[in-house]
Amino acid sequence: MNNSGAINNGTQDFPSECPYLPSSPVLQWIKNVVYLLILLLALFGNASIMWIVYKQRRMHTATNYLIVNMAVGDLFMAICSMIPTTISMFRGIHSWVNDGLFGQISCKLLLLSQGSSMACSIITLTALAFERYFAVVFPMWNAVIATKTRWTVALVWIASFAYTSPIIYAGKVRLYKGVPFCIEEWAPAFDPKRAPAIYTIVSFVLLYALPLLVIAVLYSIIIAKVWARHIPGNATPANVRLLNKSKKNVLKMLMTVVLAFALCWFLMYLNLFLQDFSDIFSPCGIPVGMQTTGFLFGHANSAINCCIYFIFSQDFRRGFKDLATPFFRKRSTLLLENTRGATMDTTRDSQKSSLKPQSFKLTHNTKV
């Protein structure tokens, strides 16, 4: 996947007729603050998901293990890609650290983390769809498949790194007017025009269009099966409502995660296709605002997923409450102690103040 930051970083020589429109300082700060909030939410939210599943034994299920795998991918992207990006955004300089060995390795790691995290998300979502499909349509098979979750997670990461392995070659640090920048450059081993275009097509088909089509088909079958299934025996209306609510919440959560992925990464792919296959924005390239929006939405997916889990899953909400309760309990205890101390001081002050007017009155009466 092409490095969307290359154009913003000024690594391309645009024709002189392209006007330079400096961004407003207010808009720049708004973008920086929004991206910082996305980073903090991605770090804290995904770490919370991992901790909740680890601590709650009742949540040790195949579905939750795959959800944790997505959280690991999002956290990997937040640490290796989003933190350096945040630092460069607040510095106001998108140049790379240097063009030495450390600069080259860190540049490749940045691009590798972004690509592998996106690949991990969509492959895990596909695995979740198959897991739910077997759980509903072939429940006997699902018992066998659930025991192979570790192998599924391993295959997800192998496939993710295999997809992003070309970035290890293409990620390079190049000097532009003496300033180092981290870019994708496919030359000299590959054609500098055709190689990124082919890589974009392969990425779009294998990691966006085809998985989303498979997921849509599987969830359509699941929905048809779930809504048509009846509870065996003499089920009470309350049991029926409870079971239907549980089924719907799980499906809504997983389908919302898929929809969020599709929407968040759509604009990024649109930018890549316009960049590689269209001259609509020639000769100046894609507008910076469009690039920035695609960049923010793509990275925001790492923070949105954990929010979806907390919104739709009562187990994750309960786990987050258990995780946060000790911190709020300590704070409330501290506030209570401070309040008691303040109350005692106020009582002493009030007693002293009540004595002072009384002595004044006695003195005054004595004089009279």
Q: What is the pLDDT of residues 122-166, one digit of tens each?
A: 999 999 999 888 888 887 776 666 678 889 999 999 999 999 999
pLDDT at residue 366 is higher than 50: no
| Residue 249: pLDDT over 80 | no
My answer on whether omega of the bond before 283 falls inside 30° of 0, hence cis, is yes
**258: helix, strand or coil:** helix
pLDDT value of position 229: 61
Looking at every residue in the chain, the average pLDDT score rounds to: 79
The pTM of the full predicted model, rounded to 2 decimals, is: 0.77
Least confident of 195-199, 263-267, 273-277, 327-331: 327-331
pLDDT band for position 92 (cuts 50, 70, 90):
confident
Span 103-115, pLDDT tens digits: 889 899 889 988 8
pLDDT band at 340 (very low <50, low <70, confident <90, very high): low
Q: What is the pLDDT of residue 143?
A: 62
Query: Of residues 14 and 234, which shows the higher confidence score?
Result: 234
Higher pLDDT, 342 or 198: 198
pLDDT at 336: 54
Q: Whole-angstrom Cα distance, residue 119 to residue 112?
A: 10
What is the per-residue pLDDT for 51? 93
Q: Which alpha helices (H) appear in the chain, and where do they start and end?
A: 5-8, 25-55, 62-77, 83-91, 101-137, 139-146, 149-170, 194-204, 210-228, 237-277, 288-312, 314-367
pLDDT exceeds 60 at position 245: yes
Give me the residues paired with residue 172 across strands.
Answer: 183
Q: Comparing 15-19, 25-29, 45-49, 298-302, which segment has the lowest mean pLDDT?
A: 15-19
pLDDT for residue 317: 87
Strands (E), 281-325: none
Q: Which residues contact 136 (CB under 8 A, 6 or more apart)?
A: 222, 225, 226
